[in-house]
Structure 1
Amino acid sequence: MTRRMYKLLVVIVLLLVIVPTASASVRIDDNGQVPFYARIVRNEIIHNGRWAVIVFYRQPSCIPADFNMLDFFDFPDGTNLGAFDCQPPTTDNVTIWKNGPDVDFAPLKSMFRGLGAVPVWFVKLNELEAAVADDVLTIGELAGLPSLMQGSAKAYRETLYPGESHPITGGSIQFNANGWLEDGRFFQVRVKSDRDMTRVRIIFRPDSPF
C-alpha cells in the first residue's frame, strides 16, 4: 500500500467516525408552539434609534391583559396553559437541539417562518422607553402608545442561536419582515444582532417595491 493510499484511508475512517457524531443533534418541528407571545424582552428593545419594532408570534388580541410582556415567557402553571392557550400561532418553527429539550437548557438553533400575516408593531422609541420605565408593559399599554403603527408581515423569516449566557434573546438573532401597515404603506425590517453589535434597518414606503 502506498503512503498516499494510506493517508486517504485514514481520512475516510475519520470521516466515518466524525460524521455520525456531528449529525447526532435532535431536530424538532414545533409548529409555532412556543411559550411566548412577542419579541420584546426586558432591557433589550429592538430599535433603529427612532422606531422600536415588535414581532408577534401570537395574535396580540389573545395576550392576557395582565401579562407583563417584558417577562417574555408565559409557561403553563397548572391552572392555565400560558402562551399555549393563545391559538393559532402566527409562525411555524423548527428547533435544533444538541441532545433534546429534556436535557438541554436551550436549543442550538431555532428557525421561524411566518404563516402569511405576522403582526408587526412599530412605536416611537422614546414612548416605549417611558412605558417600560416601571419594568411593566402590558398589551394594553403598548396598544395605547400614541405613535403606534400596526402592520402585517406577508413574509417573515427568523434565525435564532440561543446562548446559555442569555437564553431569552439568544446569542444572536436575525430576522427579516416585509409587509403593509394599516395605512397602506409598505414596510421592511432587517435585524441582525449578537453580543457585540445590533443592526436594525426599518423602512416605510408609500408602496411596495415588488
Structure 2
Amino acid sequence: MKKATYLNLSKAAIAWVILVMACDNEDQQPLVSELEKARLEYEQMKANPAFIELSFPEDDPGPPFYARIAVLGPDVLLMESNGTVVIPMMRQVECIDPEFNLLDLYHVPNGFFCPLTLSGRGLIEPNAPMGTFPVIAYGEGSNMPVWFVDSDLLANAMVDGVLTLPELEALNPRKGVASRYEEYNKPRSEEDYLLVIESEGTIPGTNQRFEYKVISRTKARQDVELRFW
C-alpha cells in the first residue's frame, strides 16, 4: 500500500512539474505587437489579386491633410495620454496654410502641395475612382515633426471649433522630431477601421526622448501610450 501511494505521489509530482514547465514555455512566447499584427494583415491582403499596391508620394499624393488631429462630427481624432495630446505633422509645417482649420483635417487640393513627412504604400482596387482611400496603407518617416500639447490648453483653444497653426503655436507645444514613425491605417469604414502607430524620437529643445504607441479601432477613440525620459 505504501509503495502504491508513493508511486501515485511521484506521478502527481511529475505531472505538476510538466504542467509548470509548459506554462513557463507559454509565458516565454513573444507577444505580437499591434503594429506587427497590422503588418501581417497588410501582407495577407497584398496577396489578394483584387488589389494593387501603390506607393506614395510616387504613385499617389498621400493623405490630403497636414496633421493627425481632427473633430469631424462624432469622429474625434485627439491622441491624448496623461494630459498631453500628440500631434504628428504629416506634411512640412512651414508649408501649412496658417488660416486653415486643422480640425477639419482634409484640405483638398491645397494639402497635396505640401511635401509629406512620411512615405509609404497602400492597397487599392485597380479600377477605384480617383480620390478613393486605400483599403489599408502603411506609412513611415525618419524625420517627422511631432508636437506635444497640454490637453487643457488645447481644449480651450478648440472651444470655438477652430484651430489654426498660429493658434496651435501659441500653446507653446513641445516640438519633437520622430526618428522612427510607423503606421498602418484602414480608413474606409467605421466597421473595419484601424489606426496603429509606433513612434520614437527626441525633443531638441529639452534634450528629452519620447516614445508613443496608438491603437484605434473606431474613429471616435484612440488608446495612447506616451512616455518621456
What does the per-residue CA deviation read over 1:133-176, in whole Å, with 9 as the maximum and x for residues that have no partner?
Answer: 11111011111104x1000000110000113248xxx8110011
1:184 aligns with 2:204: no
1:37 aligns with 2:62: no
Counterpart mapping for 1:51-90 below 5 A: 51-76=84-109, 82-87=110-115, 89-90=116-117
What does the per-residue CA deviation read over 1:22-81, in whole Å, with 9 as the maximum and x for residues that have no partner?
Answer: 3221211122732111111113211114100000111112101101101111112xxxxx
State the partner residue of 1:96.
123
C-alpha displacement of 1:83: 1.1
State the partner residue of 2:32.
none
Q: How many residues align?
A: 175
Counterpart-to-counterpart distance in 1, 2:216 and 2:190: 15
Counterpart mapping for 1:155-174 below 5 A: 155-165=180-190, 171-174=193-196
Counterpart-to-counterpart distance in 1, 2:105 and 2:226: 23
Please say if residues 162 and 171 of structure 1, whose CA atoms lie closer than 8 Å, have aligned partners that are also in contact.
Answer: yes
SS at match of 1:83: helix
Counterpart-to-counterpart distance in 2, 1:100 and 1:151: 40
What does the per-residue CA deviation read over 1:59-117, in whole Å, with 9 as the maximum and x for residues that have no partner?
Answer: 112101101101111112xxxxx012212x21002111134541784221011010x21
Which structure has the greater CA radius of gyration? 2
State the partner residue of 1:203.
227
SS at match of 1:22: coil
Going from structure 1 to structure 2, the CA distance change for 1:180 and 1:162 (only over 3 Å counts) comes to same
Please say if residues 98 and 104 of structure 1, whose CA atoms lie closer than 8 Å, have aligned partners that are also in contact.
Answer: no
C-alpha displacement of 1:132: 1.1
1:109 aligns with 2:136: yes
Query: How big is the alpha-carbon RMSD for the aligned residues of Structure 1 and Structure 2?
Result: 2.3
Instruction: Supply the AA of the counterpart residue of 1:176.
Output: E
1:194 aligns with 2:197: no
Please say if residues 106 and 164 of structure 1, whose CA atoms lie closer than 8 Å, have aligned partners that are also in contact.
Answer: no
Counterpart-to-counterpart distance in 2, 1:102 and 1:144: 40
SS at match of 1:141: helix
- Normalised TM-score (structure 2): 0.70
* Over 6 Å off, 4+ runs: none
